[in-house]
A and B are shown apart, each in its own frame.
Chain A
Amino acid sequence: MAGVRISGLHKHFAGVHAVRGIDLDIPDGEFTVLVGPSGCGKSTLLRTIAGLEDADAGTIEIGEQVVNAVRPRDRDVAMVFQDYALYPHMTVFGNISLSLRARGRPKAEIEARVRRVADLLGIVNLLGRYPRQLSGGQRQRVAIGRAIVRNPRVFLFDEPLSNLDAQLRDEMRSEIKRLHQDIATTMIYVTHDQIEAMTLADRIVLMRDGWIEQEGAPLDLYEQPATMFVAGFLGSPQMNFLRGRLLCSGEGAVVRFGEGETALALPPARRRPNMGDGAEVIVGLRPEHARRAAGTEPTPGAARIEATIELLQPTGSRSYATFRLAGQPVLAELQAHDVSRPGERIPIDLDLRRAAIFDPQSGKAL
């Protein structure tokens, strides 16, 4: 078990500056997810930690040891690949035990360790089969088993669930989470799926174009996004982004949308010193913070508006309704029966206490 520390890491890859000066400190035993759109450098970063790629600049430390010059085989890390990378001509037992055989462990010990791992992953009955006889989910379990049996200091996962169908992915996600609780080893997990990131991570590292856009606990990133990119990436359906103009008067502030027909009062708590009067802003509001109004008065901090529902998308437990605010489309998360059909006009409370305010030029939160 060991923590991982990255300092000032740079990596050029196929002519692209894939990793631009990353600093990352991962404490021992933590589950860190590197997430971001494709091309953001997360896989490159992971492979550099494994030693499969060389860093161009910066240091990588595993357990207080600088490993830049250490060969992958000596770094004591294990990796699970997206395409499982199982040895096709060996049984499951052979696949899992190969690394132990390579290190010359005694046969009895190998047997015991493989069985223990197989038990943990529920694949004991598959030990005699070949990879081609297994389903995708089973193969991925074997790949994970192969990684676990070595007791490495760090586990690396490179988009392991991307090849699985949705239902299987949910199942495997829980398994991996449980695994981390059982083994409590440092895990670094790469994915482009924000749901995986949110559910699995102790800490999310959201990457973009080679640098870290924001890192922290999942809920922190969700509720306090540092930039529009972070706000838009996490959360499904995506946050609503509305253009408006901020007008301040004394203690209060109002955001005016469009030609002035709609103006919403900003709760005093959301007011920040760097918000200038007359500034163009983008208001970010998640669909779950636009609810059907209840009661005669809007909830404190919320603004009430009348909305004509244009589009209705029921999912069973809730319905997503689209309406317009000064011409801009807004997606609201309503209860299943709040609206029966498009065209209806209902009152909606927008909880502006939860809104994020962004500067349109920089994309940063204000």
Chain B
Amino acid sequence: MTQYIGSGRVAPALDRRRQATLSAFAERHFRWLIALPAVGLILALSVYPLLFSLWVNFVNYDFDIPGHDFVGLQNFADVVSDPNARSALLVTALLSVVNVAIEFVLGLALALALIKTFRGRTLVMSILIVPLFISPVIVGQSWALFLERPFGPADYLLGEILGHPVTVSWLTESPWYYLSIIIADIWQWTPFMFVVLLAGLAAIPPHLYEVAELDALSARMTFLYITVPQLAPVILLAITFRLLDAVRLFDVIFMMTGGGPGAATYTVSYYLYQVGFQQFHLGVATAGSWIFLILLSIVIWVLVRRLLRAEKS
């Protein structure tokens, strides 16, 4: 590459040296240069918006009320005093824990059931992982359709199985709407637990089981003394990942109950969506999201740190 200055060319020697210094620079700082684009993008579209929203917390930002006057902690107060916010937090916490717990138990059962090879195992595995790749909105819609009367066959099927007619309004009747959400969530995410726990089981050194067999350990002892301790780090990983995703519950709520009836199935994300993007009280919503973030960060800090440590050892 040569440079044109004025009407002539720069002497090739000078040009080569410039090129040499450039590539030497690139070589020396290679590691930073290639990481830069990704880091830059994250800073621009994740960190910067968060900093911006930090400012929004303390000003008036509302499509109804013009101007961005400083309002101190008013936004936060509005959130904290809103009963919908409190109930959303409670619903989120409860649903997340219940979902993850059920997914863990079912996932472990499936993993234990499928650790052994058998004919058709590959086909079963392929079927079981399908829910993981489906958009959560479709999962929500699919279960809404299946459960809701008069269109969904759920009540009819249940009626046939149980022997007496079932007339449950799965999406509007308390407490069935919680159950519906739980069913949709575990339908989609139990395979996650299953796959991860299965991988963990498969990584247990087979000789341990062989020694246990020769030592005549009972199935219970083998499970408690070999399987569970060996699986512990994987269990921690699976629950961490799943829990931190479960608290974001939104798509399924949106499609199945719309937060209702009333605000009974509001989750934190759905509540903030309502306040910020339906009512456009953006300042209040931002404050709410920061409270949520802080609560979440504590959980992340504890769990993810422990995860990384475990991976090291």
Binding site for B on A (CB under 8 A): 50, 52, 71-74, 77-79, 81, 83, 85, 87-90, 98-99, 102-103, 146, 150
Q: Of the listed stretches B120-128, B156-164, B217-225, name the one at the interface; the rest are far from the partner chain.
A: B217-225
Interface of B is mostly: helix
Q: Is the CB of A72 within 8 A of B205?
A: no
- A-contact 0/1 string along B183-217, CB 8 Å cutoff: 00000000000000000000001011011011111
- What residues of B have a CB within 8 angstroms of the CB of A98 in the complex? 215, 217, 221, 225
The complex places the Cα of A99 from the Cα of B210 at a distance, in Å, of 13
B229 at the interface (CB under 8 A from A): yes
Q: Are B211 and A81 closer than 8 Å at their CB atoms?
A: yes
| Residue contact A78 to B226, C-beta cutoff 8 Å | no
| One of B207, B221, B225 near A85 (C-beta < 8 A) | B207
The residue that B208 contacts in the complex, of A52, A85, A103, with Cβ under 8 A, is A85
B interface list, Cβ under 8 A from A: 205, 207-208, 210-211, 213-218, 221, 225-226, 229-230
Scoring A72, A87, A146 by chain B CB atoms within 10 A of each residue's CB, the highest score goes to A87
Q: Which of B207, B208, B214, B229 contacts A73 (CB 8 A)?
A: B214
Q: Which of B208, B216, B217, B225 has the most CB of A within 10 A?
A: B216
Q: Can you list the 9 inter-chain pairs with the closest CB atoms, starting with the nearest? A: A99-B215, A85-B207, A73-B216, A89-B229, A102-B217, A85-B211, A81-B207, A72-B213, A72-B214
In contact, A102 and B214 (Cβ under 8 angstroms): no
One of A71, A73, A81, A83 near B215 (C-beta < 8 A): A73
- How far, in whole Å, are A337 and B282 apart by their CA atoms in the complex? 95
Residue contacts A-B, CB under 8 angstroms, 30 given = A52-B210, A52-B213, A71-B213, A73-B213, A73-B217, A74-B216, A77-B214, A78-B214, A78-B215, A79-B210, A79-B214, A81-B210, A83-B205, A83-B207, A85-B205, A85-B208, A85-B210, A87-B208, A88-B229, A89-B225, A89-B229, A90-B225, A98-B217, A99-B216, A102-B215, A102-B217, A102-B218, A102-B221, A146-B215, A150-B215
- Most chain-A Cβ atoms within 10 A of its Cβ — which of B213, B221, B229? B213
From B211, B215, B218, B225, name the one whose CB has the most chain A CB atoms within 10 angstroms: B215
Measured between beta carbons, the chain B residues less than 8 angstroms from A102 are 215-218, 221
Of B205, B217, B229, which is within 8 A of A99 by CB? B217
Rounded to whole angstroms, the CA-CA distance of A72 and B211 in the bound complex is 10
| Distance of B161 from chain A, by nearest CB (Å) | 40
Given contacts A81-B207, A83-B205, 20 further A-B contacts (CB under 8 A): A50-B214, A72-B213, A72-B214, A74-B216, A78-B214, A79-B211, A81-B210, A83-B207, A85-B207, A85-B211, A87-B226, A88-B230, A89-B229, A89-B230, A90-B225, A98-B217, A102-B215, A102-B221, A103-B216, A150-B215
Residues of A within 8 A of B213 (CB): 52, 71-73
